[in-house]
Amino acid sequence: MPDSDNSKPRPLPRSAFTRTARLAALPVGFAGRTTWGIGKRMVGVPANAVMSEVQQRTADQIFKVLGELKGGAMKFGQAMSIFEAILPEEIAGPYRESLTKLQDSAPPMPPGVVHRVMTEEFGTDWRSNFITFGDVAAASASIGQVHRATWHDGTEVAVKIQYPGAAKAMLSDLRQIARVARLFGVIVPGLDVKPLVEELQDRVAEELDYSLESGAQQLFALEFDGDPEIVVPEVITHTERALVSTWLESEYSLAEIITNGTQEERDRYGEMYVRFLFAGAARTGMLHADPHPGNFRILPDGRLGVVDYGAVARLPGGLPPIMGQLLRYAVDGDFESVVDGLSQEGFLRRGVNLDADTIGRYLGPFVEPARVDRFSFNREWMREQMQRVSAPGADGLGTAVKINLPREYLLIHRVWIGGIGVLSQLGATAPFRQILMDSLPGFGVE
C-alpha cells in the first residue's frame, strides 16, 4: 500500500462556501422572525403563542440547513438529533422525521470523486484489492461515506472513505455554528450548546484520522468477539482517510426502531444499547462517544452491530468510580455527600455554595431510573426534566449555572445524556438500576 502525502493543504471545496453562506444566514432569519413576533404581540397575540411560532420557524430553518449539510454542520446535527426527545412536542413533531434522517444519511459523493479518493489512498491499482466495489454509497455520515465491496479473499467489506476537504469544511462549519449557537436556546431554553461545539472542535483531528479510529475499532472488535448481543466489525486495512472493515449485514438501524419498532423491540434493543455503552468502557478502556442511533445496526440474527469509532473517550481505568458513588449517594438520598463529592471533583465552581436540599430538588428526578427495578423512559419524562432545570428559579437555572462540567467529563456527559435521550426516544422500559449495578464502578456498593 503506497504512502500518501496528506500533509498538503487541500483547497476548501466550493460546497463549503455554500454551507458557510447558509449557516451565516441563520441569525438574519432569526432577527426577522423576532421582529415578526414583536409585531404579533403588539396586535394582541398571547406571548406564549408568539414564542411557540418563533420557535417553530427557527427550528424549521435550523434543521433544514443542518439536514442539507456535511462536514461540521452534519456532525453537529447528528449530535443535536439525539436530544430530540427534550423538544416540546409542537416543535419536535414536524421535524422528528428529518432529525432521524440526520442520524442515518447525508448526500453522497459522485463515483468520480470516490474513485479519485480511492486512488489517492490505495494507489492507481486499488481495484486489484477488491473482487467487487460498489460505486454507489451504501451509507453516508458526517465526514465520510461507506461503500460495500468484496475484498480480494472473498470477504464482504465496508469501505469507509473521507470526503475530500473534510477537515477544512468541518472546522469552517463549526466556527460558523459557534457564532449562531445562541439560536438553539430559542428552541430549547436553557440548553447551552457552546461546550458541545467546543468539544467537537477539539475532537476534529482525532475523528479525521482513520488510523486512530481503526485502532479503537479493532480493540472493541477483539473485546466483543463472540459476544451474544454485540457485534463490532473487524478492521481489514486502513489509511488516514480510508478504513476497510468486515461488512455488517443490516437493513436498518436503531433509528428505524425509534420510528416503527414494536414495544418488545424498543425494550430489547434499548437495553442492549445502554449495556454496550457501559460495558465498552470496562472491557476496552474506551467509551464509544458517538451514541446517535444511526451507529447501532440491527442484524438479522437479532444482535446489535456497532459502528463508527472515530469519537471515543479514552478511560484506561474505565468509568471513574466517583460517578457511581455520587449516583449511589443520590439514590440513597444522601445529598450532603453528593455536594461534598461534586465540590471535590470540580463540578461546583470555585466559591459556589449549594445546600443539600437544593441539589436534592435539582438532581432527584434525574436519578429516578436508578431507584426502581425497571424504568420506562419516554419523551415526556425527558422533556419534563429538561424544562424543569431550564426554568428560572433556584431549582432550575439558578442551580444549573452553579454547576461546572470538568473537561475530562465532557464526553462522558455527552454519552450519558445522549444515551438517556435515545432511551426516551425509544420509549424503552429497561432494568436500568441493574445495568448500573453490573457496569458502573462505585454504584453497586451497598
Q: Residue 237, Cα to own-chain centre: how many angstroms?
A: 26
Residue recorded with cell 479503537? 216
Please give the Cα distance from 77 to 100 (Å, whole number): 10
| DSSP labels, 284-337 | HSEEE----GGGEEEPTTS-EEE---SSEEE-TT-S-HHHHHHHHHHHTT-HHH
- Please count the CA atoms within 13 angstroms of the CA of 314 that sit on its side-chain side: 9
Per the structure block, which three cell numbers stand in for 206? 482525532
In whole angstroms, how far apart are CA 63 and each of 29, 36, 60, 67?
13, 20, 6, 6
pLDDT in the model for residue 12: 41
- Contact residues for 184 (Cβ-Cβ < 8 A; gap 6+): 62, 80, 191, 193
pLDDT in the model for residue 107: 64
pLDDT in the model for residue 406: 79
Per the structure block, which three cell numbers stand in for 318? 474505565
**Of the candidates 142, 141, 137, 139, the residue with the CA atom closest to the CA atom of residue 118:** 137
pLDDT in the model for residue 73: 53
Domains annotated on the chain, with CATH = 14-104+169-189 (no CATH), 111-166+206-246 (3.30.200.20), 321-439 (no CATH)
pLDDT in the model for residue 414: 79
Do 409 and 402 form a contact (C-beta atoms < 8 A)? no
Query: Which helix (H) or strand (E) covers residue 251, if one does?
Result: none
In whole angstroms, how far apart are CA 117 and each of 39, 114, 163, 239, 335?
52, 5, 8, 11, 55
Q: What is the pTM of this model?
A: 0.75
Query: What is the 3 state secondary structure string of 98-110?
Result: HHHHHCCCCCCCC
Across the 446 residues of the chain, what is the mean pLDDT of every consecutive 10-residue run? 41 47 49 37 37 53 54 54 53 52 61 95 97 92 86 98 79 66 52 61 76 96 97 97 96 93 97 95 93 93 95 91 95 94 86 86 90 94 80 66 76 86 94 94 79
| DSSP labels, 69-81 | --HHHHHHHHHHH
Do 278 and 229 form a contact (C-beta atoms < 8 A)? no
| DSSP labels, 35-89 | HHHHHHHHTT--HHHHHHHHHHHHHHHHHHHHHT--HHHHHHHHHHHTTGGGS-H
Per the structure block, which three cell numbers stand in for 63? 434543521
